[in-house]
Amino acid sequence: MGAESAEPPQTLEPDPAHTGEGSRVSIACAIPSLQPLGDALSTKSKSSYANRVLRPASFVFLGVSLAACSLGGTSADQTESGASDTGGATGASKRVVLATHESWSVPKEVLADFTRETGYVVSVQAAGDAGALTNKLVLTKGSPIADAVYGIDNTFASRAVDGGVLAEHEPENQPVSVGEFELPDGDAAEQLTPVDFGDVCVNIDDVWFEEHDVDPPSTFADLVDPTYKGLFVTPGASTSSPGLAFLLATIAEYGEDGWRQYWEDLMANDTAVTAGWIDAYTVDFTAGGGGGDRPIVLSYASSPPFTIPKGERRPTTSALLDTCFRQIEYAGVLDGAENPEGAEALVDFMLSETFQEALPENMYVFPVDDSVKLPPVWARWAETAKDPLTVDPASVTEKRDEWLSTWGEITTR
């Protein structure tokens, strides 16, 4: 991966994500606009990365999952293990169904390793983004759509646990570092196993600031400084998963008494709010390849490696690590699963070295096992926040609708 890798990674193309901005295929077809995200990456990697970060947030109103927009992509059951499921009694007992989000892009070779080790064949059921996935599990309680789930994040974990859709399972011999990512609630921690994480952070175009002889921002407070008026763009909290993470980051930073005023100040400083990450990054961001005029954008701590120019060895952008909100993804066994043993084996496998090593170059997230070797470019340039912002998952579940309603009023005046 990148200029320091001999060969580009080979990824399993994921299903179209609910981006509201076109399917994965349309993104791949528009790859010239993504070219500045790093010529050192393969076309497959770029489209997979875009698909990953474009996943929007679905929100719960009156118990119904309302996605801001959708694409009509399929979520059909797909056998991913690279081994055939022969059916019949033996085949059924060796088939484990995984419910996940539509950004799933784990290579078939990795799941084939799982099949060789356990005899279980994995069949993947894609069910929208993390919010839509969680809501679907709650709505199908008692008749689960799968045996195991992967992709519930820390903003929806409490809803899944409170909904009673998960069975208790804690993998044995977990990496020590997994404890850092466990949910604070003991019951929840017994039902959801941390698998990966990513930091949503403000990113800046270092070249732009150098060329304009302007000191770059470094904090939340800087974003409301008149020096940076009209320079920041962020995807919206109601239509984008990173956008929601940024809203939560500001709530964590300024508290219930201060976040509303902070957003008033952001909007007064001519902050642009887009429908999704692709508009913010590839259209409005100066380093996104679309001729944008805003050198400050909300993205990920893992974004800078994608801006390494061809033939170069360092990114042209950087992440502001004091602005990061940590998203953690979990896996679990579904209550009432037809194949609970297979589900437990699959959750355990997600903490294996084989699975954890595949995460950065295929899912564009960091493994929770800190002993896993990262790709060279990630190890060098994809830093993580030392003290990331978080919001208690229970508080997110309780106040999400209220926060989003207030945020919408502020940003649409």
pLDDT per residue over 281-292, tens digit each?
999 999 999 999
DSSP state letters, 258-316? HHHHHHHHHHHTT-EEESSHHHIIIIIBTTTTS--SBSEEEEETTSGGGGPPTT-SS-S
The DSSP H or E segment spanning 320 is: strand 317-334
How many residues are recorded in the chain? 413
Comparing 285 with 5, the larger pLDDT belongs to: 285
Q: Which numeric CATH code is attached to 199-325+391-411?
A: 3.40.190.10
**Percent of residues, the chain, with pLDDT higher than 70:** 77
pLDDT at 221: 98
pLDDT at 394: 86
Comparing 26 with 97, the larger pLDDT belongs to: 97
pLDDT of residue 16 exceeding 60: no
Q: What is the mean pLDDT of residues 260-267?
A: 98
Of 124, 134, 117, 160, give the one whose Cα is nearest residue 59.
Answer: 134
Contacts (Cβ under 8 Å, ≥6 apart) of 393 = 154, 155, 156, 157, 158, 183, 184, 185, 188
Q: What is the mean pLDDT of residues 297-322?
A: 94
pLDDT at 328: 95
Query: Rounded distance, CA 127 to CA 142, Å?
Result: 17
Question: Which residue has 């001999």 as its token pair?
Answer: 6
For residue 244, name the pLDDT band (cuts at 50, 70, 90).
very high
| Predicted confidence (pLDDT) per residue in 317-334, tens digit | 999 999 999 999 999 999
pLDDT at 70: 26
CA 38 to chain centre: 20
HSE (side-chain half, CA atoms, 13 Å) at 44: 14
pLDDT at 50: 56
pLDDT of residue 28 exceeding 50: no
For 12, which DSSP code?
P
Of 195, 95, 98, give the one whose Cα is nearest residue 137.
Answer: 98
| Predicted confidence (pLDDT) per residue in 355-412, tens digit | 999 999 999 899 999 999 999 999 999 999 999 999 998 899 899 999 999 999 999 9
pLDDT at 311: 92
Comparing 412 with 80, the larger pLDDT belongs to: 412
pLDDT at 155: 86
Question: Judging by beta carbons within 10 Å of its beta carbon (0-12, 13-18, 19+), is residue 255 exposed, middle or buried?
Answer: exposed
pLDDT at 58: 41
Q: What is the mean pLDDT of residues 12-39?
A: 30
Query: Rounded distance, CA 170 to CA 190, Å?
Result: 6
Question: For the chain, what percentages of helix, strand and coil (3-state, to nearest 5) are there?
Answer: 40, 20, 40
Contacts (Cβ under 8 Å, ≥6 apart) of 353 = 369, 372
Query: Rounded distance, CA 192 to CA 329, Å?
Result: 9
pLDDT at 158: 87
Global pTM value = 0.77
Q: What is the mean pLDDT of residues 306-324?
A: 95
394: number of Cβ within 10 Å: 17
Q: What is the mean pLDDT of residues 47-75?
A: 39
Q: Where does the chain hold its CATH 3.40.190.10 domain(s)?
A: 73-198+327-381, 199-325+391-411
pLDDT of residue 240 exceeding 90: no
Burial 370-381 (b: 16+ CB within 10 A, else e): eebebbebbebb
Q: Which amino acid is at 115?
A: T
pLDDT at 131: 81
Q: What is the mean pLDDT of residues 4-29?
A: 28
| Predicted confidence (pLDDT) per residue in 169-195, tens digit | 999 889 999 999 999 988 899 999 999
For residue 30, name the pLDDT band (cuts at 50, 70, 90).
very low
pLDDT of residue 76 exceeding 80: no
Of 243, 317, 300, 313, give the one whose Cα is nearest residue 274.
Answer: 243
Class of 73-198+327-381 in CATH: alpha beta
Segment among 20-34, 189-203, 265-279, 308-322 with least mean pLDDT: 20-34
